A and B are shown apart, each in its own frame.
Chain A
């Protein structure tokens, strides 16, 4: 316990001469500072509110500890922790404090006696105190905070993340360590979900600083992306220096790598005739009002160009009256869709479009029409009404003839045909060797079977079965089984090879809403594809608010198959030009 007597003398001579009563503090520690609650109060701008503490050590010595970084000047030396002895002098601001030897005159034993020499006269005290207390006595000035914050921001968001570029050895550490700033802080937005696996490896794509992402970085994964035009033509020059990122925007919100903006297409396609003088593709600016009529491609045979081969031929969309599909199939949609029904093995049956036209597993496209799956349910190829197992195969005349001959040969042998007495004799009996037919008998049997087969073939091909659907012609000068020819059937599967149509997306509509001529079409040469006006009943321009907003990529694609690789081929062509 410290028992401390403080004696004050003021600066003025008259006051010093006056004997002022001292103040005694009995305390564990004597507080020294400029605040009013300090036991030894020294109001001065160089003295902190809580400046120092004076206490008695267990060894009975006086210890002065300065809590202010300014310290206390003891005997002319700046100290922060010092033992005090009698006659030591402390300097606090303008005030000197002298440690006096214990007062011999007093009855009480003081631990220490401090003589404080305060230069201020009492009437000057208040303004002097005010002078320093009104100013914020803080090291944390505006400029301190300004520097701290700016340098902090610079360190966190630039200097440390720069390590990922400048020092590849610490790149991984910066990117993986938690709470360590890395170049991920420079990301303008999240990656598209398909690119998330790249993580925060920014330099995977941003290889060169201050350079835009190059196509070569995209092609590290997207190696076989095809071009928009045939890379072997000069059209490829139109795409010179085209970057993947000019259409595929990354780090954007909402994330979408397939651009929907039609201007990415119409920048060229609205004025394609000016870019390419002999363009086969008409100009298009938007779907609703500035899009050419659909161009249909019908499969046809050109015996001059490629004999026996089916090639898609563009139809002239300005002359719909001349549209004709020559598939060599005889078919009437009207007859099959007769609302009163059509004959079937199970009686009268009303057919729906979907009974024959079935979607593939994705629902987008229709599966090809095949005799075996779609037609044979009703159109049986039986030729013997007494034998329900009799039937010719579909697809090959030779197979058909073979089946007929086998049928009639067996009939001859089984005597189900015209029987004679001699025939029964020829049959093998148990316990006897099978007797060989004589050559004469064999020829008679074959002749009979051939005659019957030809009769039946003529009936099937010319009168009741094949001829129902197929173009059957007679070959001039030929006889026997070679005298008939059935024109091969090829139905056009992809009417619009440059566009994609999704049947599944239109499932709420009846088929005839678009294929509206089907119910009245009597011949198979009719083309039942809808015209653009039909689509425009629902589909409008991109951004059309009264209709379904339809952009280019709803139906079209940029990267087209078999055009050649997007970047590499283009470079090669340019180099060789």
Chain B
């Protein structure tokens, strides 16, 4: 069976997390503190210490995964522990709080912990389900392969165009350059909208140049379809235009697949933009929580 971070070493960390959670829960239910359960009872202090140490351990994963030379466990083992113990840590922190919330730094730390865990859960979902979907949709093509194929289509289109006319050459050259490959900032990558444009009216006076949207190469295909090559329409030129249309169609299809690929890649990245900054904020809030609890004891 393939070993992922989910079933690492026969769910070792999953079992540890479940046992720890159950033990905490049972202790919490059996405990009879002198006031309503809260972070200030002996169990509260104990659970708080455990939860804080767990949070620090979970944050250390961020360092461990970057140090490739480290021999402290395997990266996949760390990820497995990170995921399972992270879920257990939220439960322990919840019991530590005794379900008392208010407008204070303590609740801010708890809410941040919930948000970090939630974004982490989304990350687990993305890591489990997206890579499969990506492989399925790109059909064993690597990203660079996509780009290479698109470049090939562009250059063969230009080669053909040069045999027809300079105007068409420049039209296709502009179309190639003004192709939106789905890159840009994360928001653009996630939205996946084709913002390609096409420059029409090339050639100087008296015609004016005009930029039109060229999503899925539609404008290019429409323009190519209207071309009447030369005064003496010959078979060769017509065949070249036909070939150009085919190339544009293939490019449009490739671009669509590349865009979906980019979108998945962005989805795999975007949650880290929440998970990591929120985790840093949590560490700050956690330190303040611990200090202020004893500052005003």
- A residues neighboring B (CB under 8 Å): 5, 18, 20-26, 35-37, 39, 41, 43, 49, 106-108, 122-127, 129-130, 132-138, 142, 145-154, 157-158, 165, 183-190, 202, 206, 209-213, 249, 252-254, 256, 259, 261, 263-264
Cβ-defined partner of A21 (8 Å) among B170, B278, B279: B170
B residues within 8 A CB of A132? 183
B residues within 8 A CB of A151? 284
Given contacts A186-B295, A188-B293, contact A153 B272 (CB under 8 A): no
Q: Nearest B residue to A190 by beta-carbon distance? A: B102
B residues within 8 A CB of A145? 273, 276-277
A464 to chain B, nearest CB (A): 64
Cβ-defined partner of B288 (8 Å) among A134, A158, A187, A212: A158
Cβ-defined partner of A36 (8 Å) among B197, B272, B291: B197
A residues within 8 A CB of B186? 136, 138
Contact A152 B158 (CB under 8 A): no
Q: Nearest A residue to B286 by beta-carbon distance? A: A153
Q: Nearest B residue to A159 by beta-carbon distance? A: B288
Interface residue B203 (Cβ < 8 Å from any Cβ of A): yes
Interface residue B108 (Cβ < 8 Å from any Cβ of A): yes
Contact A108 B205 (CB under 8 A): yes
Q: Nearest B residue to A205 by beta-carbon distance? A: B296
Contact B158 A123 (CB under 8 A): yes
A–B Cβ pairs within 8 angstroms, 22 of them: A5-B204, A20-B166, A20-B170, A24-B209, A36-B195, A39-B209, A123-B151, A136-B186, A137-B185, A153-B281, A154-B288, A157-B288, A158-B291, A185-B104, A186-B104, A186-B293, A187-B104, A188-B38, A188-B104, A252-B35, A253-B100, A263-B34
Give Cα A124 to B151, complex, Å.
Answer: 7
In the complex, per-residue mask of B283-297: 1 if CB is within 8 Å of any chain A CB, else 0:
111001001111111
B residues within 8 A CB of A211? 297
Q: Nearest B residue to A213 by beta-carbon distance? A: B297
Give Cα A534 to B190, complex, Å.
Answer: 76
Contact B179 A157 (CB under 8 A): no
- B residues neighboring A (CB under 8 Å): 34-36, 38-40, 100, 102-106, 108, 112, 143, 147-148, 150-151, 154-155, 158, 166-167, 170, 173, 176-186, 189, 195-197, 199, 201-209, 211, 213-214, 262, 269, 272-273, 276-281, 283-285, 288, 291-297
Give Cα A472 to B268, complex, Å.
Answer: 104
Given contacts A36-B178, A129-B179, A142-B273, contact A152 B205 (CB under 8 A): no
Count CB-based A-B contacts (< 8 Å): 210
Give Cα A129 to B278, complex, Å.
Answer: 33
Give Cα A135 to B262, complex, Å.
Answer: 10
Q: Nearest B residue to A10 by beta-carbon distance? A: B173
Q: Nearest A residue to B261 by beta-carbon distance? A: A134
- Besides A37-B211, A129-B177, A148-B277, 11 new A-B residue pairs in contact (Cβ under 8 A), listed by A number: A41-B177, A125-B177, A126-B177, A130-B150, A130-B183, A134-B182, A157-B292, A186-B292, A189-B100, A252-B38, A253-B36
A201 to chain B, nearest CB (A): 12
Top 8 A-B residue pairs of the complex, sorted by shortest distance between their CB atoms? A133-B183, A123-B155, A145-B277, A149-B281, A36-B178, A146-B280, A186-B292, A261-B34
Q: Nearest B residue to A129 by beta-carbon distance? A: B181
B129 to chain A, nearest CB (A): 22
A residues within 8 A CB of B269? 136
Given contacts A186-B296, A253-B36, contact A136 B209 (CB under 8 A): no
Contact A147 B280 (CB under 8 A): yes
Given contacts A21-B167, A263-B34, contact A150 B284 (CB under 8 A): yes
Q: Nearest B residue to A245 by beta-carbon distance? A: B297
